[in-house]
Structure formats: structure tokens, C-alpha cells
Amino acid sequence: MAVFTINEVRKTFTNGEVKEEILKGINLSLREGEITALVGASGSGKSTLLTIAAGLQPASDGQVIFEGENMMTMGSEQVRKIRASKFGFVFQFAHLVPFLTVEEQLLLILDVSGSKLKKHEQKKEIDKILKLVGMEHRKNAYPSSLSGGEKQRVAIARAIIHKPKVLFADEPTASLDSKRSKDVMSLIRDLTKTLNITTLMVTHDEEMLAFVDHVIKMSDGQVLQSAGENL
């Protein structure tokens, strides 16, 4: 089932009298329980496409259909509520709050997402998610005591604690060594399948493509190639 459908999305930036078209009519469908990777050289438009899909910036033209509704026609507050409650985000760096424990990082997201769970139910849910990512033993730790791989695991737990429909991952392994990168990608793949999440990822690392279902190759704001999992 397609959760996201991107129709003829274009993005143009204006610098004085000069207009630069960053995205040139992108079409894309994202399905439940699958990881789609956007690849291409710097400046190809992949990060711009991800941020438009995530409602972090508007397109200049086209449609971004999420759960049957066009996000491009929504007001900013409606888009913000969707981001908070139905989207999860993982970036190149974990960006954990330094003065919050691992558990408190996740409690904060539950609060921001408008969770209706009572406090004891939230803590049970946190224990469950931390076990899924292999970090239950670090629940009371502060970010300064965590390794790079552990921080990224906590960032993933934070991104899925509120049970989002879509996970956006922008270079989630770029700051990690090869082993930790594979561990993190294996975790993202397993969670995508287990929780039936729709995952859209930007990556430069070709080794990570072994973990994804679909690869979208972009160049100069266009899709050059779309391939399935048997690459």
C-alpha cells in the first residue's frame, strides 16, 4: 500500500533575478514496510526531496500525498501536527539533548507528539522500544557516556517511540565506521519490517544499499533510475 505519493514535485530557488530549478518534476511512491533510498551526487536534489516529503519545506509545484491528503494544500499548523505525530526523523548526527537521560529523550518526544498514554504506560513503551534497539541497559545514561553507535540507536528509538507512519533518515550512518554503519542499517531495516514503517533514506554509502528495498538514483534534480531490491 502506498503511504506517500509524490506527483510532479518541483522546487525552484530564486537568487535575485536568477532562478535555479532544484527538482524538475519528481514522481515517487513509498510503500509500507519498505525502505527507499535516494542516492546521487551532492546537489542532485535528494536532500531537498526528502525535506519536502517530510513537510520541512514546501515544493514550488506538484503534490505530496500522505494518507490520501495533499500536504501542499495544508496550513503550516496542520503540517506541523503531522510531522510531530506521524513522522520520525534520524539524521547524520544523533542530536541528543545533552542534559537528558536516554529515557528522558524518549519521554520528551512522547510529550511533543501528543501521546495519550499515562506516565506509567509511557515508561513501559519506552522499555519496549529500548529493548528493540538493544539499549535497555542504558536507559538512565546521559549522551556523554554513549558511543557513536549507541547514540544513533537512541536517536532511532527516539524517532519511532511515538509509532510514526514514516521514518525519514538523512545520512543516518555517515558519522559511523563500517561495522557500526551496518549495525545501524540492519536495525533500521528490521524496525521498518517489524513495525511496518515507510522509510525514506538519503545516503552516499553504497554498502548501505544492500539493506534497502528500492533505490532511486537522482542527478540534476531528476530521477535517472529506479530499481528494486535485487540490485
Where are the domains positioned within the chain?
2-227
Per the rule left: phi > 0, alpha: psi between -120 and 50, beta: everything else, 90 is beta
pLDDT tens string 90-147: 988 889 999 999 999 999 999 888 888 888 899 999 999 999 899 999 999 999 999 9
Rg (CA), the chain: 18
Q: In whole angstroms, what is the distance from residue 231 CA to residue 219 CA? A: 19
Confidence category of residue 78, pLDDT binned at 50, 70, 90: very high
Residue of 23, 24, 1, 184 lying closest to 92 (CA atoms): 184
pTM of the entire structure?
Answer: 0.90
CATH 3.30.420.10 corresponds to the domain 2-227 = no
Confidence category of residue 3, pLDDT binned at 50, 70, 90: confident
